[in-house]
Amino acid sequence: MLRTNVANDLVHRSLGTSAGAVGRLGDGQFLAGSTKITRGVLKVTKYVYDFTEGSRDMKDLLGGKGANLAEMTNLGLPVPPGFVITTEACKTYLESGDEPAEMRDEVSQHLAALEEAMGRRLGEADDPLLVSVRSGAKFSMPGMMETVLNIGLNDESVQGLAKQTGSERFAWDSYRRLIQMFGKTVLDIEGEHFEEAIEAAKKARGTKNDLDLDEQDLRGIVDTFKGIVRDQAGREFPTDPREQMDLAVRAVFDSWNAPRAILYRRQERIPADLGTAVNICSMVFGNLGMDSGTGVAFTRDPGSGQQGIYGDYLQNAQGEDVVAGIRNTLPLQDLEGIDKPAYDQLLAIMEKLENHYRDLCDIEFTIERNKLWMLQTRVGKRTAGAAFRIATQLVDQGLIDLDEALTRVTGDQLAQLMFPRFDDTTDVKQIGKGMNASPGAAVGKAVFDSYTAVKWSRSGEKVILVRRETNPDDLEGMIAAQGILTSRGGKTSHAAVVARGMGKTCVCGAEQLDVDTKKRRLTVGDIVVEEGDVLSIDGTSGAVYLGEVAVVPSPVVEYFEGSLDPDSADADELVKAVHRLMTHADEKRRMRVRANSDTPEDSERARRFGAEGIGLCRTEHMFLGDRRKHVERLILADGDKEREAALAALLPLQREDFLGIFEAMDGLPVTVRLLDPPLHEFLPDYTELSVRVAQAEARGEEHENELRLLQAVHRLHEQNPMLGLRGVRLGIVVPGLFAMQVRAIIEAAAERQKAGGNPIVEIMIPLVDAVQELELVREEAERICVEVCEREGVDVKHLIGTMIELPRAAITAGQIAEAADFFSFGTNDLTQTTWGFSRDDVEAAFFSAYLEKGIFGVSPFESIDVDGVGALVRIGAEGGRKTKPDLKLGVCGEHGGDPASVHFFHDVGLDYVSCSPFRVPVARLEAGRAVLVSDGSDSR
């Protein structure tokens, strides 16, 4: 913006006039219908652009379709003349309920220029200009918003169109298309009214094909359609061409907030405040006869990425005929035999566009009486495999460099390539569908409890663990199973989180399945699946199948596992492309990538997948199974002696756990989190125990231990255990608990070090709220470290830090950093405590409503809430480094493997992210991409 005295001089210079010729601009005055002086400030707001005025870089203003039509126009390609009404006009309309005052005049000016260029006037009787009115947002939203063709036709101009084209049938068919599209789109008339009228006309003619209807049939349909408009809309069909166009423009604006558009934006995470542009383009017709047609072309195969000629063509048709599937299309190659000059011109344009955009292009075109017209181009959507192949092909062609190639692929695409897939060419019987909680394809016999899953697995059976929902007790069964299926829960339920961590296929919340664990079966309608019956579950789509479905393995996982050499003859083009881009991502990225792992086996796999350490080793998982009895002894301990005995029994077991992990991660950092969950999670269920005690009393049996357990469960009961006695609070209140764990960690590290290894130890204290808590635990931990090292004769290097997972910890991070060697942001609990959500409850209770109403576009447990939780991460990082500039910062929540979240953590300045082993390659790729995006690189 400019002050008035500067603005006057600027305006005159831009117009080639003098101040004396135009006069001084004052408040409230307009220039060229798009420039206004307000409080002495020049505000330029241009609402309409000719195709010749735009470019592909103006997508924010002109939308993707308009920007690309302008780009093709400027390239000298055959584009029908037209103009674009901007997204700013749409936003003003949606905010105020009316178009900007200046817009109508600008539209009139551009329409007049279009009429002059075409030598015709909109809707004139003798030689009418017809236009299309199409939506076009910044991001492609195919079919979500409105289009109206043949604007300008009425009872007079239809005669002129017949004369102009030499075809009465064509003219009346175009007129009925206008009334039908206008009625549905602008007047909100149900489409079935029009469709029934067409069916009645075809029935009267004795045909099922629209093309068999003649001129008289179509005249009758037009009259019928006008009656439908009169009856359903309460008004006559507008015959004024400008009124048709203006109403169509409003309908396109309104369609931005149509339910299907809103739903699509939420699904694709497209911001709701962008608005849509409106493209007004002179009509060209592919339905003038067999020398005309319409088609879609791709410069490469969007399915595989292979170069070649891909697309469809339909003679004597308009674009919607191809989409509606009214007639079978021809392969694009057949156009060569139909109209070779147009075919050759199209191939030359395809090559020009791909070289210009330096990417796969999706093209829509029409041929009108042997003349080719380009109606749209855009960078084409593609499969995950095609994305990697095309990116490296374009590098080899010299069109882009490796940096840009890396920005052309995503972590989500890589994840799709890593999971096995069902062979959808086989016959399958789908019996249900749930949430696609963890991708992949799994086949096995249905089992209904963890014990059976482990038992059958050990005997060589592949099993699917079926539960209403899972809990920590099911961990062994989840590990043993090929996949997990639950009838309750969502993407952040226990089953989903653990399954993703293990790279295990999981379908959650398949509500149509009635799971009866007591009878050991599930039912769907009249279908009964007994224990031992085979199920197949698709974690990518959420589908559940009865019986075995063939699985296609992923060579990309074989590459990451190290069993497939990317340079070998066995490696296909996709694996080679993934290898090239992963190598480049590793070279570019600043952040390290670690894994969340609790076992030596997971740690070994994580290392093969490229993990550079362990960012979260959860010790609570080590207390389950056969070790539960020792935890129960600890909880029931009556005095120091019993408690110390229970801890002594746990010590060697913990030491062996850590030793195996240190061996698997030798030379890389391992962050061990001390016990976090409340103790009641290691005890039996209260109701189950009560029944056992009552039954024992009734039979006169000994039940002292069960009674003591019942009393302990009652004593440890909390109204909100996730905010109760857990984490660092346990270490302070339960004497010796954290001390035992620290001793086991340091003893294991000392043993590994004496064996010639290089353990890098990081001890992490969970749920710290105040620096005093960390100081108390740290003092005891350091004393134990000194004691063990002196006894073993080694110097175990170690760091002691904390998780930042509570709002207070983030806000007081500067104080906490005084006692910490590192911070790791626990974004799962930080999300819960910032939002006031209980993750185990809220998703099923109201998340679907929140997503539907747009309160958030994606679950904050899936992708970091940048404005809320993210702000606390930033505060914590800045506060910690203000105290200690070299403080190591990482994240170990589920967000560490989410592509969008990885970019945020890079921007905040974290040193590493940590995620499940299976998501390590995704995080590596996104950490490399984050550097390029932050540096301002763009994939277009």
Q: What is the pLDDT of residue 679?
A: 75
Least confident of 137-146, 649-658, 734-743: 137-146
Q: What CA–CA distance (Å, rounded) separates 940 from 460?
A: 51
Question: Does 2 have pLDDT greater than 70?
Answer: no
Percent of the chain with pLDDT over 70: 92
**Rounded Cα–Cα distance for residues 810 and 802 (Å):** 11
Band of the pLDDT at 52, cuts 50, 70, 90?
very high
Catalytic residues: 494, 892
Say whether pLDDT at 633 is over 90: no
DSSP secondary structure of 809-867: HHHTHHHHGGG-SEEEE-HHHHHHHHHT--HHHHIIIIIHHHHHTTS-SS-TTTS--TT
Model confidence band, residue 375 (pLDDT cutoffs 50, 70, 90): very high
Q: Which of 10-24, 327-341, 668-682 has the lowest mean pLDDT?
A: 10-24
Q: Do the Cβ atoms of 475 and 450 come closer than 8 Å?
A: yes
Cα torsion angle, 893, 896, 897, 902, sign: positive
Pairing of strands 82-85, 48-50: antiparallel
User: According to DSSP H, which parts of 598-683 are helical?
Assistant: 600-608, 628-636, 640-664
Structure confidence at residue 469 (pLDDT): 83
17 pLDDT band, cuts 50/70/90, is very low
Q: pLDDT of 803-842, one tens digit each?
A: 999 999 999 999 999 999 999 999 999 999 999 988 777 8
* pLDDT band (50, 70, 90) for residue 725: confident
Would the pLDDT of 101 be above 80?
A: yes
Give the pLDDT band (50/70/90) at residue 28: very low
620 vs 606: CA distance, rounded Å: 20
C-alpha gyration radius of the chain: 34
- State how far the alpha carbon of 811 is from the alpha carbons of 488, 774, 802, 874, 895, in Å: 36, 16, 14, 10, 20
Confidence of residue 425 (pLDDT cuts 50, 70, 90): confident
Nearest residue to 802 (alpha-carbon basis) of 834, 780, 824? 824
pLDDT higher than threshold 80 for residue 35: no
E strands present in 152-263: none
The structure tokens listed for 682 are 């290691």
Of 397, 284, 291, 401, give the one whose Cα is nearest residue 351.
397
Q: What pLDDT does 453 receive? A: 94
Label residue 884 by pLDDT band (50, 70, 90).
very high
DSSP E strands, 190-322: 276-282, 293-300, 307-315
pLDDT for position 320: 66
Bridge partner residues of 313 (DSSP): 295, 330
DSSP 3-state of 326: coil
Which of the residue ranges 146-150, 173-177, 300-304, 831-835 would you say has the lowest mean pLDDT? 300-304
Specify the range with the lowest mean pLDDT, choosing from 12-16, 541-545, 848-852.
12-16
Q: At what angle do helices 241-255 and 103-118 cross, to 10 degrees?
A: 120
The confidence score (pLDDT) of residue 632 equals 80
* Residue 175 CA: distances (Å) to CA of 120, 171, 450: 18, 6, 67
Task: Return phi, psi of residue 797, to 5°.
Answer: -70, 135
Count other C-beta atoms under 10 Å from residue 526's C-beta. Answer: 5
Return the SS3 of 936: coil
Alpha helices in 240-339 (DSSP H): 241-255, 259-268, 319-324, 335-338
Pairing verdict, β 888-891 and 912-915:
parallel
Neighbours of 786 (CB within 10 A): 11
Q: What is the pLDDT of residues 586-599, one digit of tens each?
A: 999 999 999 999 99
* Residue where the block lists tokens 């961990």: 475
Positive or negative, the Cα torsion across 329, 334, 340, 343? positive
User: How much is the average pLDDT of 25-54?
Assistant: 61
pLDDT tier, 32 (very low <50, low <70, confident <90, very high otherwise): very low
Residue-wise pLDDT tens digits, 494-504: 677 677 656 68
Mean pLDDT across the stretch 170-195?
A: 94
Contact predicate 918/894, CB 8 Å: no
pLDDT tens readout for residues 228-285: 999 999 999 999 999 999 999 999 999 999 887 886 787 677 888 999 999 999 999 9
* Residue 563 vs residue 40, higher pLDDT: 563
Mean pLDDT of the chain, nearest integer = 88
418 vs 14, higher pLDDT: 418
Confidence grade of residue 27 (pLDDT, cut at 50, 70, 90): very low
How open is the CA angle 120-121-126, to the nearest 5 degrees? Answer: 75
Instruction: Phi first, then psi: give them for residue 257, nearest 5 degrees.
Output: -105, 20
More confident residue, 24 or 599: 599
Q: List beta partners, residue 890.
A: 824, 912
Lowest mean pLDDT among 510-519, 624-633, 677-686, 869-878: 677-686
Task: Work out whether strand 798-804 and strand 760-765 pair parallel, antiparallel, or are unpaired.
Answer: parallel
Contact present, 508 and 486 (Cβ < 8 Å):
yes
Mean pLDDT for 175-200 is 94
Higher pLDDT, 151 or 730: 151
Return d(Cα 80, Cα 117) in angstroms, integer: 11
Q: What is the DSSP track for 488-541?
A: S--TTSHHHHHHHHHT-EEEE--TT-EEETTTTEEEETTEEEETT-EEEEETTT
Q: Which residues contact 634 (CB under 8 A, 6 or more apart)?
A: 643, 646, 647, 650, 734, 737
> How many residues in the chain?
940
Mean of the pLDDT values across residues 625-639?
80
DSSP 126: S
Kindly report which listed range (94-98, 211-215, 284-288, 628-632) carries the lowest average pLDDT score: 628-632
Helix (H) or strand (E) holding 713: helix 704-716
Instruction: pLDDT band for 10, please (50, 70, 90 cuts).
Output: very low
Q: Using an 8 Å Cβ cutoff, are 511 and 444 in contact?
A: no
Alpha-carbon gap, residue 249 to 186, rounded angstroms: 9
In this predicted structure, which of 295-304, 725-734, 896-905 has the lowest mean pLDDT? 295-304
Residue 568: count other Cβ atoms within 10 Å of its Cβ: 9
CA–CA separation, 730 and 722 (whole Å):
12
Predicted confidence (pLDDT) at residue 455 exceeds the cutoff of 90: yes
